[in-house]
Amino acid sequence: MLPATPHAIPGVFMHPDSPISPRSRRPTAVWALALALAATGLAGCNRGGEAADTAAAEQAKPVPRYEAKLSLVNNNGALRYDGNVDSDAAKQAIVAALAHAYGAERVSGDLAVDPYARPADWAAQLPQFAAAFTQPGAAVSFEGRRIELAGQVAEADRAALLDRVRQLYPGYAYTGLFEGVGAGPANAALAALPAKAEAAAVVAALNQTPIGFEGDSARISAGSLDALAEAAKAIQAAPANTRIEIYGPAGGSDDQIDLSKQRAEAVKVLLIVNGVNPAAIETKSAPDGSRGLGFRLIK
């Protein structure tokens, strides 16, 4: 009788001299291939999971909705700032630039960090701008690609500051008191007043000065800031004890009446910012039949 042939055991190593045929060793190769495919699948799942996590993180980032903003007010060499920026790093960089230009003890304010704000393109040149912003009484604001000047600023200082912002921020919109620099007085009626005009003449010139507002709001339009700066000079040059009322249109709905009062108050505030004594200005309900913003003497 022939000797019995041993049975092959799947997955068990057999000596090469074993009489078991090569076909009997195929299960080992099948198991190895299955394990390799499983490992490849797990690696693919891990990569897919990482990609999904990255995509989810990107979707979770806030989408910017509005421009970062910075307002600066030079109060006789001391600087006050406020606004909002997109990150704490941007905030720290801005505060450091202002402290370097003015000295930390002369700088105060706060910046809100809001992830919905867009990155501030104007921040990179802020150190150079802050070094040139030395005009007491001036106020400037940055918002997107717009720079607005307000406050009490002499013509020569306005021109010098405008020249600097044009160098640092080419292509931006320069509004407020930057408008009309070098083009002469903002209003012909105010420019025609003599140095010591009578109170009645000052009021008449004020009533010929168009004051604009942004939309249906109490925010004075940038193009009217220069005119109100000239109006403030005229009021200050009027005879002592001159007192003036600012009024809005009479009649209409409650909303219109409220808006007219808010606009009169906005004009009063800006005149005070430009040096007018608060005691010299009042805001009251409009006289019957009036239309638009107006001025009159207080008897």
Q: If DSSP states are collapsed to H, E and C, what string results for 120-166? A: CHHHHHHHHHHHHCCCCCEEEEEECCEEEEEECCCHHHHHHHHHHHH
In this prediction, residue 229 carries a pLDDT of 87
When the pLDDT of each residue in the chain is averaged and rounded to a whole number, the result is 80
Domain 66-178: state its class. Answer: alpha beta
Hey, where are the domains in the chain?
66-178, 187-297
In this prediction, residue 253 carries a pLDDT of 58
- Angstrom CA distances, 293 to 49, 175, 208, 215, 247, stand at 64, 22, 11, 15, 6
In this prediction, residue 60 carries a pLDDT of 63
CA distance 138 to 65: 29
Q: pTM value?
A: 0.52
Taken in order 92, 175, 185, 201, the sign of the CA dihedral is negative
In this prediction, residue 287 carries a pLDDT of 58
Beta bridge partners of 297: 244
Given a contact cutoff of 8 angstroms between Cβ atoms, the answer to whether 58 and 87 are in contact is no
Q: Any idea which architecture 187-297 has in CATH? A: 2-Layer Sandwich (3.30)
- Both tokens of residue 150? 């307000």
In this prediction, residue 40 carries a pLDDT of 59
One-character DSSP codes across 152-213: S--HHHHHHHHHHHHHHSTT-EEEETTTTTTS--S-HHHHTS-TT--HHHHHHHHHTS---B
Does 66-178 match 187-297 in CATH topology?
A: no
What are the 10-residue block averages of pLDDT along the chain, 299 residues in total? 48 48 53 59 58 58 88 93 95 95 94 94 94 92 93 85 92 84 67 88 90 83 82 92 84 67 90 93 70 81
Q: Using the CB atoms, write b or e for 82-103: b if 16+ within 10 Å.
A: ebbbbeeebbebbbebbeebbe
Q: Return the residue matching tokens 């600087």.
A: 79
CA distance 261 to 247: 7
| Residue 120: exposure state from Cβ atoms within 10 A (0-12, 13-18, ≥19) | buried
Given a contact cutoff of 8 angstroms between Cβ atoms, the answer to whether 275 and 138 are in contact is no
Distant-in-sequence, close-in-space partners of 212: CB < 8 Å, separation ≥ 6: 220, 221, 223, 224
In this prediction, residue 2 carries a pLDDT of 47
User: What single DSSP character describes residue 241?
Assistant: T
In this prediction, residue 13 carries a pLDDT of 46
- Both tokens of residue 263? 């606009």
